[in-house]
Structure 1
């Protein structure tokens, strides 16, 4: 009997995509909840390469990207060809402790960190928790908040043909 090989195409999923009120993707978020085993620079470099790969694979231009680690939130701009240097850097604990008061004192796992990031982004869009969500001014300065207003987020978005339309 002959064995048949079934090829499975790897599904590439972004942790979070934030969409404008018109449904346009405006922000791709990569969440890293594990502490790096080796040098932090290599860990960040690999995460940035993953973000670039996702942005290149998207059918539409996603103008902003965010890398969230347990320590920092870095925001970048994407022009369709090149990812900028960070245009905003925030302390993760300072931002997300508004949504989890024990953030700095307990172990935070990937799914929970992703959920907290989504809560923050939705708060920036709708002010459901705070009239002035954390880091709102910094994100207004770079033009991100105006694109998030009345938008939404979606976790685990598959990056491939027509997934963002």
Structure 2
């Protein structure tokens, strides 16, 4: 987006302009925007057969998040890794990514949107959609007045940023 008051392009728009093919563009899986359309969270999501339980996979995913955060040239306060086991949320201070400030059981969060979550094989595209459903529910309560883990999202300061915002899948 071009922000009229800033007259700048976001990192993702610059990458899109520079890319010769759409396949060359590398984006986070989910981007959450606040009500002012500023990015407040980026997420990497991996469904079956992948997960972040393996140390190397988690380290690589965290490095990808850091690359996105550094390249964005704007302050994005939160980053998230999601697999079928856990949702890990991190804080970004502009230079450093914290250790996970919260770890949630993915099934506990997303079973609200897919009651058979624990009984199904959840692949990446579906996991992205369920994660986006939860973030949008936190943002504007499309399914519930109190979405899963609202209290925890408030305590870390993420809910306040998500309220009345939206998400984008890539």
Please classify the TM superposition score into its range, dividing by the shorter chain length: 0.7 to 0.9
Give the length in aligned residue pairs: 150
CA distance 1:44–1:151, change in 2 (3 Å): same
Q: State the Cα deviation string for residues 15-55 of structure 1 (Å, max 9, x = none).
A: 01000001110000110113459971111111111111111
1:1-165 mapped onto 2 (5 Å cutoff): 8=20, 10-36=24-50, 40-156=54-170
Runs of 4+ in 1 over 6 A off after TM superposition: none
Q: In structure 1, what is the Cα distance between the partners aligned to 2:51 and 2:45?
A: 16
Which moved further from structure 2: 71-80 or 33-42?
Answer: 33-42
* Larger RCO, structure (CA 8 Å, separation 6 or more): 1
CA distance 1:66–1:114, change in 2 (3 Å): same
Q: In structure 2, what is the Cα distance between the partners aligned to 1:129 and 1:43?
A: 33
Q: State the Cα deviation string for residues 107-136 of structure 1 (Å, max 9, x = none).
A: 111111101011000000111111110011
Higher helix share: 2
Q: In structure 2, what is the Cα distance between the partners aligned to 1:37 and 1:138?
A: 23
CA distance 1:151–1:39, change in 2 (3 Å): closer
Structure 1 unmatched ranges of 5 or more: 1-6, 157-165
Q: In structure 2, what is the Cα distance between the partners aligned to 1:16 and 1:76?
A: 15
Structure 2 unmatched ranges of 5 or more: 1-18
Q: In structure 2, what is the Cα distance between the partners aligned to 1:124 and 1:82?
A: 26
Residue number in structure 1 paired with 2:7: none
TM-score relative to the length of structure 2: 0.83
* Structure (1 or 2) with the larger CA radius of gyration: 1
Q: State the Cα deviation string for residues 71-93 of structure 1 (Å, max 9, x = none).
A: 00000000111100011110000
Over aligned residues, Cα RMSD in angstroms? 1.8
